[in-house]
Structure formats: structure tokens, C-alpha cells
Amino acid sequence: MSNPHFVGVETARPDAADKVSGRTQYIHDLAVPGMLWGAIRFSDHAHARIKHVDTSAAEKLPGVEAVITGYNTPEVRIGFVRDNFALKRDKVRQFRDEIAAVAARDPETARAAAALVRVEYEPLPGVFSLQEALAPGAVLVHETDAKGRPRKDNLVPVRFAHHSGDLEAGKRASKHIVEGEYRVPLIQQSCMGTAGCIASFDTRGNLTLIAKTQIPFLAQKDFNRALGALGLEGRNTRVVVPALGGGFGTGLDTHAYEYIAMLLAWRTGRPVKILYNREEEFAYLSPRQSATARIRQGCDANGKLTFREIEVTQDNGAYTSWGATFPSVMLVPATSLYRVQNISFESKIVYTNNTYCQAMRGYGNPEITWPIESSMDELAELAGLDPVEMRLLNSNQPGETTPMGLKITTCGLQECLERTAAGLNWKENRGKRRNVKRGFGLAGLINVAGGGKIYRSDGSGIILKPDDYGNVNVSYGGVEMGQGLHSVLALTIADTLGVRPEQVIVNQTDTSTCPWDVGTHASRGAFMACNAAVMAARKLKARLLEWAEEIFPVEVEEALAKARKHPGFKEPDFDWRGNCRPGCFELSDGILTIKGAPAVPELQVDFARLLRAIHFRRQGGGTTFAEEAFYEPPTELPDWEKGIGNMSATYAFGAQGVEVEVDEDTGEVKILRLVAAHDVGRVLNPQTLKGQIYGGLAQGIGYALYEEVLTDKGRILNPGFTDYKLPTAVEMGFPIDVQLVQTNDPEGPFGAKGVGEPGLVPTAPAIANAVYDAVGVRIRELPITPEKVLKALQEKRRR
């Protein structure tokens, strides 16, 4: 590993050729023999008592094999507060509640039968906004908690808070204070490949679930618990992950549709596939939460931050997924983006009769960086400072410990801010192009980049298994969902072990063959996988080099004996025998040789030949290899109510800046160019790294300008790409300048930090700050639509 020559080099992904040829198999493309198709009957009301469910017409439809409801199947609870059920009984709490499900010979029959299920309801009044849900005497979404105890309000029973320093003292020390309320909308992850799974049982009651998941091992745990509900305690779930078709957080929870597939498979004794179409994906898969944040922060006469106070309220919808814990991640920027003492952070997670929400890339960070970084610009203006100067003055520095207890090891924030500003010719441009309605804005970020400890282990295991042909088969429990995990694994293993990247073959993720991993989330995939891979590859290499002392001389003698038969052969001018000592061998590019030896084939032993010689050792006692390693990062599980704990082994920083043009007649915001400077630690593969940043940016721009799931009393109004606007190649046609700041993190594999989420974190406030610079209006509610800009411009003119 002393001289990496694959890591850091632009390399095509190992899965690229299959993807461009249409050979990659997603859940959509998979079928197993005897498979039935499942379909779900969802609720017709946002809040109602179920009076009666009549499945007789559905059962009579030819081709239907089973119709199940909450009344004829065991209760299967879902979610970490156990407030959700695979099939609902007694009451529905959102439009997408699952009441019945059908297994049939084809998807059309299954859907037709699901529509034939007759449900009688007694409609109930619902709560559809934070105000309604928090009002005294509000209708309760859940009358009781998971243990059956009566509930008094609509608050989800988890608390994330942080109070440090002396808030009042901070306020007194302030020369300037700004305050504002900021909103983020409900948005859809919009994986191009929709959700689906195939569930099948063996005769003994073991479940195999082919699942579009990012958490195969937590899913195994969830489903093993569900097997218990079926009376199958002690039986196992094997989770197999196909090519994902995008994840973006949708795979961080187990879903009702997956449990329904399990129930249908158990009922029918046949494999059952459920696959959402696009409309179902929008209407029945959990989106990203909407939230409101109030922020107050102040600075002294010099612009130094004096205090920060944030209250976040998020609309959880009717049930609780891991996504409810967004405030756990909000704590990171709330307490630690820029140096600030005297902090108050409070969060409320509120049940409503809206669709329940789940994780999405960034997981709370974009939601809270939006108010923080908008407010930083307002504060800079009050203090009479340039926004970049204001940020540089308060920038985090390497070696500091933040009020949350985050240990900042390497920190490229200052350089990211400077390079972003330089890329936009900030000094010449910002505040000076209002005559042409052009504006410049910038925002910074902090993000976990060395895991994110939210579970009792944040570790990852890996197995490297070389074979007789020189392939290194890799079993890793994390998920390649398009981000390029397998690419950086191959490069890391190639360099650390000393083989070529194409010799590294990453197996399909499968709980039965891969060691445990907590899940591919929190920008932790490459960081964890490559750290584990380095550990395992070093162990494997050490063992192989030990064997080399015995094998190398035998193989070289044999090669030389053969070579000597050729007339004109010259003995190598190198004392190879004298150099066959521990520490003198070198394995690189799949070739074993002796350091300093001339590059002649007789003095080189191919990796495959080495492995075979060990395996088939003539005198017996040979061996094959499978080397395992488990990497657990040096982090702490935070105390969430105190908001204290170093949850990540390192932190990523970054800054993004944009130039925008605002059309004052239409309110349209057009991005003219964008600079994104990211502290990435070290580059593992520039191609996949930049892909992560570009892709993150496009999602950040969608969040900033275009995307919103619209609802009316809990019903989703725009369940499709016709009315839900994703950025296309046209919107993304402006020049993007990505600057990679390499801080070489000591805990990172080859110095690398996680890069999965940062790309979308500061994009929206950077754009809002640029809009303000262009036309002097501050938009506090995403997305920044032409309507909102026009309205703000009209209000500004009236003032």
C-alpha cells in the first residue's frame, strides 16, 4: 500500500459494462419459478375507523390465490417505535394505509382483485398540519402507544435536543441578532427504479427476501422478528439485494409491502413479488419530511457568532420510520457548523394524518443547513460584513471539539469557502450585478464522513476470498446502489493486496454470505467498506508473503529450469536466492517478486500460480484463503436528549456557490454557474466521487427550486413526474466547477472521507442567498418557485 497506483485514478466502474448493455438485473427484472404477484388495497380515507372488510368478490376473481387482511393474518408490527402494522385493523391513519392484499397469477389480476375488496369506513376528522396536530384537544392519530397506554398528544415519543453554554449571556453579548422561520417541503426520493421485493419460504419456514434495501442486516433482524409473529421463532430470513435502481434513503427501513409479500408467501406457499409502479411509488412509499425551523442567531460587533437557537418541528405523518430521527443529524450542523457557543436546539416530531415519511439522502442536514446558512447571510448584512468574510471569521478549524463533542480532525472548510469564492470571482461580482438581476450566493456545510453512529455498532465486516485463478472474491454487506461502492472497493483491495482491480470481484450482497454491516447510509459506505477492506487485505497479504518464502524459490527454480532449455537464455543478474528473506517479497499488480529484482518472467510468480502452489502443496499441508476483518470506527453513540457525542470518526466540510439570474417579470430563477468545493479527505476514484457530487447537486437544486409533493388533507395530488418536477438535463445545463479539497484524514481509508450526502446539503441556501443578492428578496420556504419570488418582489415594491 506504500505506493497506491489504482486508488485516486479515474477508473470506470466494474458494473458499468453490464449497466450500459441492459444486462444488470434489478428487482423489476427478476422472477422465480412458481411466483405469484401481490397487490395491496390501500385506504380510501386519511383517518377513519374500519367498520367492515369484505374480500369475497376479490377471492372469486379467477387467478386469485389468496386475499389477506389484518383480520385473518397475525399482527406484524413495523418501525422502531412499533406504531405501524403490515395490515391495518380497526383504524386507518393515512391514505396509503394497507387494508388488504392479494396474491394472484399476474400483476393485473392482483391489482384488479385488490380493487374488488370492499371496505366500509366511519370517517374521522384528521390533522393535516403541524398547527392542527399540536392544537390543544387535537384529534389523536394514535390513541394509544405501542404498549396500549393512552396517549395525550400527537408527539412522537423520541427527543433530540441540545443545550450548551449560556443562551441569555450569548444574547446579551450580541450586537446583531437575526430571526426567521424557514420551511422545507415534502419531497420524493424518486429512485428511477421503483420499490419491490420477492418473498419466498422454504418448507421449514425460512424466508428468503430479495429486497430493494440499504440495510440487509437490520432487515434480517426485522424480518426474523416478523417470523416470530407467524409462529416461526428461530427460523431465519436471508436478505438478498439485487441491483438497486437508486436508494437515496428509501431502503433504510423495512416496509409494509415487504411484510405483506412475506404474509402472502406464507399463506400461499409460493414466492410472491410485489412491485410498485410510479404512481404507487409516489402515493404509497414514504417521502422526505416537511419541516419548519425557527432560528435565532447573533454576533458581536466584529461578526463573531454569539449564540444559536433553533426549534424544529417536523411533520412525521401517521407512522414512524427511522426518518423521524432526522433531528439526530440536525444536531451536527446546529451545534457545529461554524464556531458558536451558547446553543439551544429543540425538536418536535409530530404525528399527522399525512403520509408517513422516511429517510432521504442528507437525513436532516439539508433541512437545517437551509435556515442556518440563510440566516448567516442575514447576520453578515446586519454586521456590515461580506458573507464570505463572516463565514471565514467563524470557520471551524482542525483539532477543535465542538459543543456537541464532535472531534474535528481534518477540516477543509476555510479552503472550501475560499476556493468557492475564488471560483465565482466573489469580490468583483457579489452585490455588484443587481442592475442585470444577477446575484451570487454561497453556503457551507458540515456532514458526518466517518460513519454516523445511531446504532450500537456502526461497523462493517468484509471477507476476501482469493481463488485458484487469482480472483479475489469480496463479500461485503453494504449495498452498491449506484454510488460506486464496488468501484472504490476494487481499487482499495487492488492497491492494498497487490492485485489488479479487475481481479477483484465483489459478490452480490446477501446476508447468508456477507458479514454484518449496519447499512449504507450516512455517507458511510466507502469509508467503512474501504477501511475494512484495507484491514482484511493487509492480513491476507501478510499471510501470502509468509508463504512466499517457501513457494517462491520452488516456482522460480521450476521456471528457470524450463527457461534454461532455450538456447541463448541468460541467467538473471540478480542474487534472487540470497534475497528470499522475509520482508523482501513484493506483491503488486498480481505479480509476486523480490524487491529490486529485474523484471524478467522467471523471477515473477503470478498471483494465481502462487495461490495454486499453496493450495496444491506437493508435500501436503496446503491451504486456501478467506480473510475476514471487521472495522468499527472510533465513535460514540450520542446521548440524544443532551445532543452530545462524537458520532462520526471524521467530518466532511464544503461550500457551494452559485451565480443566478432572476427574471423579475416571471419570478424564474436561472442558475448560470455553480462552484462546489468539497473536503473529501482523499480521492479514491475521481469519477465516482464527482458522480456523487454532481448527483447530489442535482438533488440539491431540485430541493431548492422545483420539487414538492403536494397534498390536500393527506391525499397526494401529484403522484408522477408529470406534476412532480425533477431537474432534467436542461435545468442542469449550466457549468459546474467541482473543487476537491484533499485534507488526507488520518482515520479515512487512504485518507478518504465519506462523500455521499454533502453534495446536496448547502445548495438551497446558496441559491436563496444568490436570489437575495440579485433582487433583494429573501425566500424562506422551499422550493423557490417563480410564484414565491414574484410575490416577494411585489411585497418588496409595496414597502
Partner 1 sequence: MAKKILRCTVNGRQIELAVAPNQTLVQVLRDELNLTGTKVGCDMGTCGCCTVHINGKAKLSCLTLALECQGAQITTIEGLNQYELHPLQKAFAEKGGSQCGFCTPGFIMKSAALLAENPAPSREEIAAGLSGNLCRCTGYVKIYDAVEQAAQEMQRAEAPAPAPART
Where do contacts with partner 1 occur on this chain (CB under 8 A)? 12-13, 15-26, 28-29, 189-194, 243-248, 277-279, 481-484, 687-688, 690-691, 694-699, 720-722, 726-730, 732-733, 736
Measured from the CB atom, the residue of 687 and 742 that comes closer to partner 1 is 687
What cell does 705 get? 427550486
* Minimum distance of partner 1 from residue 462's CB (angstroms): 22
What cell does 617 get? 502443496
Q: How far apart are CA 170 and CA 299, in angstroms?
A: 9
Q: Determine phi and psi for 597, rounding to 5 degrees.
A: -75, 150
Could you tell me whether strands 669-679 and 736-741 are parallel, antiparallel, or unpaired per DSSP bridges?
A: parallel
**Cβ of 562: how many Cβ atoms within 10 Å?**
11
Measured from the CB atom, the residue of 73 and 763 that comes closer to partner 1 is 763
Q: How far apart are CA 316 and CA 301, in angstroms?
A: 40
Q: How far apart are CA 450 and CA 518, in angstroms?
A: 13
Contacts of 688 (CB under 8 A, 6+ apart): 13, 483, 484, 487, 488
Q: Which residue in this structure is represented by grid cell 401529484?
A: 718
Measured from the CB atom, the residue of 101 and 697 that comes closer to partner 1 is 697
Q: How far apart are CA 692 and CA 705, in angstroms?
A: 20
Q: How far apart are CA 39 and CA 101, in angstroms?
A: 6
Residue 476, burial from CB neighbour count under 10 angstroms (0-12, 13-18, 19+) = buried
Nearest CA to 528 out of 423, 450, 441 is that of 450
* Minimum distance of partner 1 from residue 759's CB (angstroms): 8
Measured from the CB atom, the residue of 183 and 278 that comes closer to partner 1 is 278
Q: How far apart are CA 751 and CA 293, in angstroms?
A: 35
Q: Which residues pair with 240 in a beta bridge?
A: 210, 510
Q: How far apart are CA 198 and CA 505, in angstroms?
A: 25
* Minimum distance of partner 1 from residue 481's CB (angstroms): 6
* Minimum distance of partner 1 from residue 523's CB (angstroms): 15
Measured from the CB atom, the residue of 256 and 479 that comes closer to partner 1 is 479
CB 26 within 8 A of CB 243: yes
* Minimum distance of partner 1 from residue 243's CB (angstroms): 7
Measured from the CB atom, the residue of 443 and 464 that comes closer to partner 1 is 443
Measured from the CB atom, the residue of 243 and 265 that comes closer to partner 1 is 243
Angstrom distances, CA of residue 703 to CA of 249, 347, 663, 730, 769: 15, 22, 20, 16, 15
Measured from the CB atom, the residue of 436 and 730 that comes closer to partner 1 is 730
* Minimum distance of partner 1 from residue 458's CB (angstroms): 25
Q: Which residue in this structure is represented by grid cell 412525521?
A: 316
* Minimum distance of partner 1 from residue 692's CB (angstroms): 9
* Minimum distance of partner 1 from residue 247's CB (angstroms): 8
Q: Which residues pair with 238 in a beta bridge?
A: 208
* Minimum distance of partner 1 from residue 687's CB (angstroms): 4
Q: Determine phi and psi for 249, rounding to 5 degrees.
A: 105, -15
* Minimum distance of partner 1 from residue 695's CB (angstroms): 5
* Minimum distance of partner 1 from residue 562's CB (angstroms): 36
Helices (H), 38-129: 56-60, 107-116
Measured from the CB atom, the residue of 536 and 752 that comes closer to partner 1 is 752
Helices (H), 360-513: 365-383, 387-393, 413-423, 426-429, 485-493
* Minimum distance of partner 1 from residue 487's CB (angstroms): 9
Could you tell me whether strands 272-275 and 290-299 are parallel, antiparallel, or unpaired per DSSP bridges?
A: unpaired
Measured from the CB atom, the residue of 38 and 79 that comes closer to partner 1 is 38
Q: How far apart are CA 143 and CA 157, in angstroms?
A: 13
CA angle 725, 728, 734 (to 5 degrees): 125
Measured from the CB atom, the residue of 92 and 736 that comes closer to partner 1 is 736
Could you tell me whether strands 161-164 and 343-351 are parallel, antiparallel, or unpaired per DSSP bridges?
A: antiparallel
Measured from the CB atom, the residue of 194 and 254 that comes closer to partner 1 is 194
* Minimum distance of partner 1 from residue 532's CB (angstroms): 23
Measured from the CB atom, the residue of 263 and 360 that comes closer to partner 1 is 360
Measured from the CB atom, the residue of 696 and 765 that comes closer to partner 1 is 696
* Minimum distance of partner 1 from residue 737's CB (angstroms): 11
* Minimum distance of partner 1 from residue 269's CB (angstroms): 24
* Minimum distance of partner 1 from residue 691's CB (angstroms): 5
Amino acid at 462: I
Measured from the CB atom, the residue of 760 and 784 that comes closer to partner 1 is 760
Measured from the CB atom, the residue of 22 and 568 that comes closer to partner 1 is 22
Measured from the CB atom, the residue of 26 and 80 that comes closer to partner 1 is 26
DSSP-derived 3-state class of residue 750: helix
DSSP-derived 3-state class of residue 157: coil
* Minimum distance of partner 1 from residue 246's CB (angstroms): 5
Nearest CA to 101 out of 226, 260, 262, 275 is that of 260
Measured from the CB atom, the residue of 160 and 363 that comes closer to partner 1 is 363
Treating both helix axes as pointing N-terminal to C-terminal, what angle do 216-229 and 256-268 enclose, rounded to 10 degrees? 50
Treating both helix axes as pointing N-terminal to C-terminal, what angle do 763-775 and 686-701 enclose, rounded to 10 degrees? 50
Q: How far apart are CA 765 and CA 757, in angstroms?
A: 16
What cell does 443 get? 453556503
DSSP-derived 3-state class of residue 239: strand
Q: Which residue in this structure is represented by grid cell 419466498?
A: 200
* Minimum distance of partner 1 from residue 12's CB (angstroms): 5
Residue 254, burial from CB neighbour count under 10 angstroms (0-12, 13-18, 19+) = buried
Angstrom distances, CA of residue 18 to CA of 12, 14, 486, 672: 12, 9, 14, 35
Render 526-594 in DSSP notation, one character per residue. Answer: HHHHHHHHHHHHHHHHHHHHHHHHHHHHHHHHHHHHHHHTSTT----SS-TTTT-STT-EEEETTEEEE
